[in-house]
Structure 1
Amino acid sequence: MKNFIGTGNKNGVQMAEEMTKENIKLKREMLDLSIKAKQYINKNEIIKSIDKTRKSFNEAINEISNITNVCPNLLKEVVDDFISALKESLNV
């Protein structure tokens, strides 16, 4: 291949190789960032879903305690333990 004008000691092939290596490095960094972004989005979606689940459980607790006269605080403790275990198992 011909040498590019103004490249100093490097010829065009060396420059192309360096640019290719840098391009590959940047693409890997972009992929890593993309994966992290997806994980962040998924984690936020999981948290939203867990919050919705907690709300549904709380509504169910109120209905159950109204029907059965079971102390709602006891039921809420069970739900809180369940939600905590769920979050811990999902690392959120």
Structure 2
Amino acid sequence: MTDHVQKGMLPSELLCPNCQQKGVISGNSWHCKRCDQQYGFAIYCDTCNEPVQRLTGCGSSEHFYCRSCKTPKSRKAVLYTMTET
């Protein structure tokens, strides 16, 4: 399996590694509408490579928290990893 890592964008702006088109996130999977490719989807800390927790609440829709580093992370500082399934 191959991991495709993208950084510095919103999850909705992620591009398909095959055709470079935007796709749809559903839970822990990412689907390209154009080439019908399915990927596993996860978000990791750029410092320690551990999974991050999405913060919810007013004004924090695209912010995350790394429990390992004990640090808040912005969407630009996390790694969006898509794994071929």
TM-score range, shorter chain: under 0.3
Larger Rg: 1
Greater share of strand? 2
Higher relative CO (Cα under 8 Å, sequence separation at least 6) belongs to 2
TM-score using structure 2 length: 0.23
TM-score using structure 1 length: 0.22
